[in-house]
Amino acid sequence: MTSRERVARTLRFEGPDRPPRDLWLLEYAEMPEKIEQYGHLCERFPMDITELPVTPGRGQRARGQKGVVGLYTDDWGSQWRVAEPGVIGEVRAPALPDWAALDDYEPP
């Protein structure tokens, strides 16, 4: 079963072969000594949910750098604060501050 089929069957409650997965790997998990010790996690556990393709003219909101101390804005328009290097961080300002903004929101 392909990743696409797995996700679609999950969303339709049609019993995929296994639950789809998306590993939010921190830089720590991809350090050479960790790969040597445990193997490359994405090879052992392939992801089914990957980054979305960027449509021209959309998804251009990203600013800053994920995993670097400070603030960054992701492709969806949410602002994150990173307090420690290599950590994903926490959302400080969501792309949709309330549901009233949904009608005008354009995803990446």
CB 14 within 8 A of CB 1: no
Domain ranges for the chain, please list them: 1-50, 55-97+104-108
Winning range, highest mean pLDDT, from 2-11, 17-26, 34-43: 2-11
Confidence of residue 12 (pLDDT cuts 50, 70, 90): very high
Give residue-wise pLDDT tens across range 35-89. 777 667 777 777 887 655 555 444 456 677 777 889 988 888 899 998 988 777 8
The tokens describing 80, both together, are 């994150």
The full DSSP string for 80-107 is: EEE-STT---EEEE-S-SSGGGGGG---
Tell me if 6 sits within 8 A of 20, measured CB to CB: yes
Phi-psi region of 70 (alpha: psi -120 to 50; beta: other; left: phi over 0): left
Whole-prediction pTM: 0.53
